[in-house]
Amino acid sequence: MTAPTTTDGAATPSRRLWWILGWCVLVLFAGIAAYALPWADVITALAGAKWHWALLAVFVSLSGWPFWILQWQLLAPKAHRPSFSRMAQVTALSGAANTSLPMTGVVASVGFLIVRGRLPASAAASLYTVDQLVTGIGKVATLALAALLVPVPDWIRSGLLVLSGIMALFTMALLVAAHGGNRLRRLGIGLGPRPARLIGHVADFVDHLEPMRSPLLAAAVVALTFAKTGAEVLMVMTVQVAVGIEPSVAAAVLVVAALDLATMAPVSPGHLGVFEATVILCYQYLGVPLPLATAAALIHHGVLFVASLVSLGYLGWALPQDESGARRLDQP
């Protein structure tokens, strides 16, 4: 009885401290923005924006959603693979959590995979683990492409080197672990019930790392990651047109690459402040005037938020459909 109480008591202050720090960062960015940005010129830039292009950017952003759904379908163990529509619900919930409350994104995504995707906990954890690996590979590829297209800042080059090393080690670790399920179970033989049960859960997790044992499946999953990145780059270019910046593939890749690095850690709620500062710095580095850079950052983040609301709208339609279908199946 005492152990769970102690754990909860320790976790709650930690979560509260994280939220407090996050909101402090957000307030700091808001204060800096209030004094450092030429808001009259920014408002003028926003007023002169081509908002039909911003609306188009929402649809371009949503065009990457099917790639995400299919990717998570392929990452799910074959024996427990959800339908496309059910995985669409899971990704809609996960996307909304990552956009609005990224501090709880990992726990929320795994929880949605279990509750809505109906995956066993070990399968949900393995899916999310491999997803983070292929996402990291996609980030490395985007950073490398940005470094080829434009003379990127030193912090991006450093981030590329560090992330490349981390991804190489992560890949090797999962490749080795993916073939060790039976060895783990043999290790648990002869131990007490509790250690054997724990080792069994770890072995189940390892068994579900199917993409690490299938080169074709892994290649398909990585290809879908690149497709999602392509949709992001096209969306950034659409936002450039909306605010009056000359559309540039190189600039769009730089923005996507920089955001990949800057938003890896959930520093503030919804990445507010961090997201806008990163986009502004990228455009300023490329010589874009500050008002246009700020307008692009605000519209870019707004497009992602609206796209998450659209996916939640689908969720609002799909959930009642599932419930009515389940009731019909239950009826004699």
Structure confidence by residue, pLDDT tens digits, 147-181 = 999 988 888 889 899 999 999 999 999 999 988 87
| Domains in the chain, number | 1
Per the CB < 8 A criterion, the answer to whether 231 and 60 are in contact is yes
Q: Binning pLDDT at 50, 70 and 90, where does residue 297 land?
A: very high
d(CA 159, CA 196) in angstroms, rounded, equals 40
Q: Binning pLDDT at 50, 70 and 90, where does residue 273 land?
A: confident
Is residue 23 pLDDT above 60, yes or no? no
Give me the sign of the Cα torsion angle 57, 92, 213, 183.
positive
Q: What is the pLDDT of residue 7?
A: 40
Q: What is the pLDDT of residue 2?
A: 38
d(CA 276, CA 239) in angstroms, rounded, equals 14
Q: What is the pLDDT of residue 105?
A: 63
d(CA 211, CA 133) in angstroms, rounded, equals 11
218-246: pLDDT as tens digits: 999 999 999 999 999 999 999 999 999 99
Q: Domain range for residue 61?
A: 45-316
Can you tell me which residue has the tokens 């490329």? 286
Name the token pair of 234.
């096209």
Q: What is the pLDDT of residue 328?
A: 52
Can you tell me which residue has the tokens 């047109």? 241
Nearest Cα to 302, choosing from 277, 272, 332, 329?
272
Is residue 8 pLDDT above 50, yes or no? no
119-134: pLDDT as tens digits: 999 999 999 999 999 9
Can you tell me which residue has the tokens 């030193």? 154
d(CA 292, CA 286) in angstroms, rounded, equals 12
In a domain, 38, yes or no: no
In a domain, 15, yes or no: no
In a domain, 19, yes or no: no
Nearest Cα to 199, choosing from 186, 189, 183, 188?
188
- Backbone phi, psi, residue 9, to 5°: -65, -35
Percentage of the chain lying above the pLDDT 70 cut:
80
In a domain, 26, yes or no: no
Cα–Cα distance list, 162 to 99, 165, 238 (Å): 25, 5, 31
Per the CB < 8 A criterion, the answer to whether 229 and 256 are in contact is yes
Is residue 6 pLDDT above 50, yes or no? no
In a domain, 326, yes or no: no
Is residue 11 pLDDT above 70, yes or no? no
d(CA 256, CA 143) in angstroms, rounded, equals 8
Q: What is the pLDDT of residue 317?
A: 82
Per the CB < 8 A criterion, the answer to whether 184 and 198 are in contact is no
Q: Binning pLDDT at 50, 70 and 90, where does residue 103 land?
A: low
Mean pLDDT within 175-204: 79
287: DSSP letter: T
Name the token pair of 199.
């080792």
State the average pLDDT for the chain: 84
In a domain, 200, yes or no: yes
Mean pLDDT within 47-54: 95
Q: What is the pLDDT of residue 5?
A: 40
In a domain, 76, yes or no: yes
In a domain, 25, yes or no: no
Q: Is 148 exposed, middle or buried (0-12, 13-18, 19+ CB in 10 A)?
A: exposed
